Amino acid sequence: MNHFSYLSPGPGHDRQHLPEPRQAEPGQWPMLEAALAVVNRDLTATLPGQDPLILMVAPSWQPLPPSGIDRDQVYVAMPDGRWHGNPVNACDPEEGDPPEPDDPTTVLAVVADAAQETITELLSQAWPICREHKIGMHPRPAGTADDWYQGETDAAGPPVWWCRGSRAGDCHDVSLVGELAATLPGKQRRALRRSERKRDGRQ
């Protein structure tokens, strides 16, 4: 199985002897799991037939720090375990950071961004797509302007899928992350509800 990772073991460490990445155990990363379930709703709505994304854990090659907190890194991955991009639990245990982000809004934004990068790179397609402008969207805080930048502190809205619009400058929020199904045409929404009922064993 191929995994895309940008971890560097450093001098004196052989990558071949590192523990293999593994799928996260249920309940191990509850905030990340909850956020990924929300993002997977959008994946199901917009890419029918695509299996849900999963969390993969890349064990750290470093010894356990004095804090006792593992430095394992968690990635949003395709069902076969491949991923692309940065971990979603980037933290510094020595600085007292929690092992996973503890703010649901931040977690959802980070997971949505990681999911988009994995899908875009490994399926070689933009995702998700704005139905109006036919271009890829990006997760941003609600209500941000075209010149918003990552880390800006005065944008505290919930994460949305944001479209830059056309050259006319008509950027816009398309939907909350997790709510793309509501933007589908009626026929597609009905088909999605039928497939969800079938999957859940309901008629």
With a pLDDT cut of 90, the percent of the chain lying above it is: 51
* Residue bearing the bigger pLDDT, 121 or 147: 121
Residue 7 has a pLDDT of 43
* Per-residue CA distances from 10 to 29, 53, 62, 158, 178 (Å): 27, 30, 10, 38, 39
Residue 10 has a pLDDT of 47
- Say which amino acid occupies 151: G
pLDDT digits (tens, 9 = 90+) for 136-178: 999 999 988 887 776 655 556 799 999 998 887 789 999 999 9
* Residue bearing the bigger pLDDT, 128 or 145: 128
Residue 89 has a pLDDT of 87
With a pLDDT cut of 70, the percent of the chain lying above it is: 73
pLDDT-derived band at 185 (thresholds 50, 70, 90) equals: confident
pLDDT digits (tens, 9 = 90+) for 33-79: 999 999 999 999 999 889 999 999 998 765 545 555 557 899 999 99
Residue 187 has a pLDDT of 76
How far is it, in rounded angstroms, from Cα 55 to Cα 38? 13
Residue 3 has a pLDDT of 52
Check pLDDT > 70 for residue 29.
Answer: yes
Mean pLDDT for the chain overall:
81
The answer to whether 43 touches 77, Cβ cutoff 8 Å, is: no
| Domains in the chain: boundaries | 16-198
* Per-residue CA distances from 172 to 74, 127, 134, 143, 203 (Å): 31, 16, 13, 8, 37
Q: Which backbone phi and psi does 131 adopt, to 5 degrees?
A: -65, -30
Check pLDDT > 50 for residue 5.
Answer: no
Task: Give 117-179 as a 3 state SS string.
Answer: HHHHHHCCCCCCECCCCCCECEEEECCCCCCCCCCCCCCCCCEEEEECCCCCCCCEEEEECCC
Q: What is the pTM of this model?
A: 0.79
Check pLDDT > 80 for residue 113.
Answer: yes
Residue 138 has a pLDDT of 94
* Residue bearing the bigger pLDDT, 50 or 195: 50
Residue 156 has a pLDDT of 63
Residue 5: closest CA among 53, 64, 57, 65: 57
pLDDT-derived band at 96 (thresholds 50, 70, 90) equals: low
